[in-house]
Amino acid sequence: MDNTHKRPHRVIETWKFLENRYPEWKLTFIGDGPERKKLEDHVKALGLRRVFFVGFQNPIKYYQRASILLLTSEIEGFGLVLVEGMSFGVIPVAYASYTAVYDIIDNNKNGIIIPYHEDGYPAEYAAQKIGELIDDKDKRAKMAFSAIKDSYQYSLTTICKEWEKKLFQLIN
């Protein structure tokens, strides 16, 4: 949890628009870092009650129970966490601050892309898009299925086959 690249405070800014509207939903942060204490203090100052910081954990059990993954990083190389979540049917919602997000997410099909804004991260807009997902169980189910299906292109089996094909082409 560092503010330079990951910008986790943006997740909290988005959640503050959602918490009261969706009392059965909660926000969980997995991981640690230099900003954790500040984030916890910020959550308390905002009076948010369903935000949990679980520290560094194996994320699999969290992917298994999650419905939506919000990635608000300013800088990412690839965004592996998006693909990991998708493989479990977790719908990625990502801020388009880096180009690889467009390679991973097919907007409104297997996830949601929050357009980049030079004026800053649009927390209220992101909350609106997440709220639409929460409100529409059928849309969530379709997007989760698409996320799983589309994540196969990044599976170890698929990637190994591509490498084998390329290496075979080089040899011949």
* Inside any domain, residue 102: yes
**pLDDT < 50 positions in the chain:** none
Q: Provide the residue type at 11 as one letter.
A: V
pLDDT of the residue at 79: 85
What pLDDT is attached to residue 3?
81
Domain-located, residue 48: yes
Is residue 4 in some structural domain? no
pLDDT at 125: 98
pLDDT at residue 155 in the model: 81
What would the pLDDT profile of 116-158 be if each residue is shown by its tens digit?
Answer: 998 999 999 999 999 999 999 999 999 999 999 999 998 888 8
> β-strands 91-95, 68-71: how paired?
parallel
In whole angstroms, give the CA distance from residue 171 to residue 67: 44
Residue 3 lies in a domain: no
CATH of the domain at 155: 3.40.50.2000
pLDDT score recorded for residue 28: 98
Total domains present in the chain: 1
Q: Which residues of 96-134 are buried (b: 16+ CB within 10 A; e: fewer)?
A: ebbeebeebbeeeebbbbbeeeeeebbbeebbebbeebb
Whether residue 1 is contained in a domain is answered as no
pTM (2 d.p.): 0.90
Provide the domain limits for residue 61.
Answer: 9-171
* pLDDT score, position 159: 82
